Structure 1
Amino acid sequence: MARNTDRPNVLLLLTDQERHDLLAPDGIPAETDAIDGLAADGVRFTNAYTPISICSSARASLLSGRYPHRHGVLNNVHERDAVRADLPEDVPTFGTALREAGYENAYVGKWHVGRHKTPEDFGFDYVGGSDQHHDAHLESGLAAHQRDLGVDPDAVEPEDAIYAEFPDSRDLLGATLPIPPAATRSYYNAELTIQRLERLADADGPFFHRVDFQGPHHPYLVPEPYASMYDPEELGAWPSYAETFDGKPQVQENYRSYRGVEDLTWEDWATLRALYMGFMHHIDDQIGRILDALEEFGVADDTVVVHASDHGDFTGGHRQWNKGPFMYDDTYRIPLVVRGPGVAGRGRLCDDLVSLMDLMPTFLELADAPVPEDIDARSLWPTLRGEETDAREAVFAEYHGDEMGFHSQRMIRTERYKYVFNAPDVDELYDLDADPHELQNLVDHPDYRDVRARLRDRLAEWMRETEDPIAEFTTRHLGE
């Protein structure tokens, strides 16, 4: 279909809590044929990182191109301890900028960036598909969809469930969902996306469509055949499951009790991992349906497609559940794939250190829209076009706490090393060449004294440059 524009469309396929190694060729054996197809036709970034491993904060950074301490959403907005319940409307975002540049924007699925503000306040038409837990103020429509398929949403009971146990309660971690795949939220969000893309394909100008899947975030509620697609007995442990916590911050071992998973057996972890992989397989099939629709509607060649996740997931890595005060690659390293007009190469791997929030200026450059000067991100377009660029020497990340109160952490990650500043406890240093699974903390190792000093200095410099609110106190420690 010929379109009256020389600017490409954009389709952003965002997942929630997807580990980077679900896509890595040498990673875990989850089948992701649709996303693998995107990577085969475009560029896959092997060292992409989130600026923070908390949903609301990461999503606000994606929208704004700013670190969390600069946009103010420091933890999850739906929690009682939320430092800020909404992303301020005066923070520039790519949604508003794209709309001002003439893009027709649509949004499906999880929002989770505001307790009161919605995608409508940031330049998007909201189509539906979120959930009550994260976005009680947004209309979903899933229940009506399920009833149309003959499924009573009030009568669905998870089967073969695994729970986190607490003295007076328990939390559902994963289970088989006894409904057809077409009745799941993932399918429904894909259906809403396909319906909107059909309309957008007939528009004269360019469009931006974003679909945010709620998975593979826990609880892993997975329909058949996906729930049984991976045999737990055939899955080996994550390499980081060998964690002993020796020389690590005490909070790491304590968090197993806080999450109620300290008594889980390896068989439990393997079952949860199999459900997690099945969940991702199901989502990938929905992504495949969406990509097929792009072809059917005649706009695939005019559309830049991006797949990413807000952050990763432990699923037993480092013997942990969910995420929290840990800055391991399990949760901070993310998948990132880009395909479409202007993207050079097919099946190209890029090892540059990049950030999730780099997508903000990338989208603006694509739209010929002004890029704000005061953002922390940088456009990926020079790399996507295959140009020679000055690659980052490091990426940075932060953490402020979630649910259990404040817990300040900062991270610098270079090509080889990772240094983590832990305000309440021992710092961490990892040689990722020698120890890619981050099991041995080298912060006090005499052979790494110079490395430690160099990374501390660079981390302190970054904190001062970005006006980190704890820089005044922290940089004195880091400069020791």
Structure 2
Amino acid sequence: MTDTRPNVLFLLTDQERADLLAPDGLPVETPNLDRLRDEGTWFDRAYTPVSICTSARASLLTGLYPHAHGMLNNSHEADAVRTDLPEDLPTFGELLAESGYENGYAGKWHVGRTRGPESFGFEYFGGSDDHHDEALDTRYKRYRESLDVGEETVEDAVYADDGEGGMVVSGTTSLPPEATRTYFLAELTIDAIERRAEGGDAPFFHRTDFLGPHHPYVVPEPYASMYDPDDIDPWPSYAETFEGKPRVHEEYTRYRGVEEFDWETWAELVAKYFGFMTFIDDQVGRILDALEAHGLDEETAVVHAADHGDFTGSHRQFNKGPLMYEQTYRIPLVVRDPTRETVDEIDAFVRLQDLMPTFLEWADAEVPSELHARSLLPLLAGDEPDDWPDSVYAQYHGDEFGLYSQRMLRTERYKFVYNGPDRNELYDLRTDPHELRNLVDHPHYEDEKRELQETLAEWMDEVADPLGKWVPKTFR
């Protein structure tokens, strides 16, 4: 009997802002991802459950918020609360393998120090880096040596003052595109597609995790000079004054070493960030072409998402951190499923971890009970369940300079942020889409604030957030 379940190709990027790919977004050339979006479904209100790599990726694997899977911050740092996922938590890779899928994985892992993709149901093809996944893979190094391109140098580098001699934020690599890790990950993916095309009848799931457009935004030509910094206008949120904001917002510009950056410097970084995204898009095009060339495009669902976004100068910030703005919490999410009819665009609130039960439902696999996630397949079919949430909830637990409890509620019009050690935030996104004015103490918004606080408390109760016992008391 022929297995009619779809193959799944999942392409995850690292720190890709949603507005890089949104139909009304930034002027960045992404023709291949645009084609994927135009042929599939764009989720206009997709959010990460937490804006930090390890935590978000663990939520993706488990369908749980960080407080439940325990990976509260990055696993590779000295301050890691946990260094590996608990072994008793079911993950979609293991469940797909149990249901008969052949699983492959290439690229960044960053969900633990000792247990890699092969511990979670995947055949690992390599491509990660030493910084995040020490000793997980050496294949890229061997690949680059085989090209005989010499030592890499970085020109026009921009540094952040991290207190340790400066950290490279952007620059132009001397390597040709084909010698970069980004290109190599596409090569690994194409090789995997070719093997699957020659294989048996079992469906496959393949995941490729690009390490960009995460900083350092160091890219090869022609991408490094593809965008002119002089043509890039300041973000509207660059007008940030930090007035009425939690103190940590301004403090973070100093902590990240970008306090002295002016817009001329930021524009240089943004130009490289845009170039990095176009470079990744070209690799996505190569992958999609290979899928079509091997006759797999009509039986393979393709999903593109990011673990979280990136500030790149928005609100004068670098990277991400204890700031729950749209630039880092809203993510791109595209699904192209040629095996069934789907709608073009969805404006319901969805989360990165909702992909976990979606993958399992595609595979006709049993979905674990008590997830903090729901399958997207009803939405893709244009059938929004009556009980689908009209808001989204997210978390942050701190990183590097100390634990810092945050909880976020985003509704169609408003955003409310609970900041444990500091003042809360309330934004009216209809009148202030760039989140510049904190209205948490504005007397005209008392009723709205009270309602948002109640909804946030309901979310915390629903997902058994352990702070749910205490946080609502601070609202009285």
TM over 0.5: yes
How far the C-alpha of 1:344 sits from its partner, in A, is 2.9
Number of the residue aligned with 1:466: 463
In 1: Cα distance, 2:130 partner to 2:461 partner: 39
How far the C-alpha of 1:464 sits from its partner, in A, is 2.4
How far the C-alpha of 1:166 sits from its partner, in A, is 4.1
- Return the match for 2:374 from 378, 398, 401: 378
- The secondary structure found in structure 2 opposite 1:147 is helix
How far the C-alpha of 1:168 sits from its partner, in A, is 4.6
Number of the residue aligned with 2:95: 97
- The secondary structure found in structure 2 opposite 1:334 is coil
- Return the match for 1:72 from 70, 73, 94: 70
- Return the match for 1:118 from 116, 119, 124: 116
Report how many residues are paired: 474
In 2: Cα distance, 1:256 partner to 1:428 partner: 19
TM-score by length of 1: 0.97
Q: Does 1:306 align with 2:279?
A: no
TM-score by length of 2: 0.98
In 2: Cα distance, 1:108 partner to 1:252 partner: 35
Check the 8 A contact 1:89/1:122 in 2, yes or no: no
Q: Does 1:189 align with 2:185?
A: yes
Q: Identity of aligned pairs, percent?
A: 60
Q: Describe the shift of the 1:342–1:418 C-alpha distance in structure 2 as closer, same or farther (beyond 3 A).
A: farther
Residue identity matched to 1:84: R
Number of the residue aligned with 1:235: 232
Q: Does 1:294 align with 2:253?
A: no
- The secondary structure found in structure 2 opposite 1:352 is coil
Once the two structures are superposed, the pairs formed by residues 120-135 of structure 1 within 5 Å of their partners are: 120-135=118-133
Check the 8 A contact 1:342/1:385 in 2, yes or no: no
Q: Does 1:351 align with 2:326?
A: no
Q: Describe the shift of the 1:439–1:69 C-alpha distance in structure 2 as closer, same or farther (beyond 3 A).
A: same
In 1: Cα distance, 2:194 partner to 2:371 partner: 34
Residue identity matched to 1:23: L
Once the two structures are superposed, the pairs formed by residues 323-334 of structure 1 within 5 Å of their partners are: 323-334=320-331
1:195-234 residue CA offsets vs partner (Å, 9 max, x unmatched) = 0111112231100000000000000110000000000000
Number of the residue aligned with 2:412: 415
1:445-475 residue CA offsets vs partner (Å, 9 max, x unmatched) = 1111111001101111222232222222212
In 2: Cα distance, 1:264 partner to 1:125 partner: 43
- The secondary structure found in structure 1 opposite 2:347 is strand
Segments of structure 1 that go 5 or more residues without pairing to the other structure are none
Q: Describe the shift of the 1:227–1:404 C-alpha distance in structure 2 as closer, same or farther (beyond 3 A).
A: same
Residue identity matched to 2:120: F
- Return the match for 2:211 from 194, 201, 214: 214
- The secondary structure found in structure 1 opposite 2:5 is coil
Number of the residue aligned with 2:48: 50
Check the 8 A contact 2:173/2:220 in 1, yes or no: yes
Segments of structure 2 that go 5 or more residues without pairing to the other structure are none
Number of the residue aligned with 1:35: 33
Residue identity matched to 1:441: N
Once the two structures are superposed, the pairs formed by residues 94-173 of structure 1 within 5 Å of their partners are: 94-152=92-150, 155-173=151-169
In 2: Cα distance, 1:66 partner to 1:167 partner: 36
Runs of 4+ in 1 over 4 A off after TM superposition: none
Number of the residue aligned with 1:246: 243
- Return the match for 1:362 from 355, 358, 362: 358
- The secondary structure found in structure 2 opposite 1:470 is helix
Number of the residue aligned with 2:427: 430
How far the C-alpha of 1:239 sits from its partner, in A, is 1.2
Residue identity matched to 2:358: T
In 2: Cα distance, 1:7 partner to 1:343 partner: 11
In 1: Cα distance, 2:374 partner to 2:186 partner: 30
- Return the match for 2:403 from 401, 406, 416: 406
1:253-288 residue CA offsets vs partner (Å, 9 max, x unmatched) = 000110000011211100000000000000000000
RMSD: 1.2
In 2: Cα distance, 1:140 partner to 1:58 partner: 25
In 1: Cα distance, 2:324 partner to 2:392 partner: 13
Q: Describe the shift of the 1:177–1:89 C-alpha distance in structure 2 as closer, same or farther (beyond 3 A).
A: same
How far the C-alpha of 1:145 sits from its partner, in A, is 1.3
Once the two structures are superposed, the pairs formed by residues 381-392 of structure 1 within 5 Å of their partners are: 381-390=377-386, 391-392=388-389
In 1: Cα distance, 2:135 partner to 2:113 partner: 8
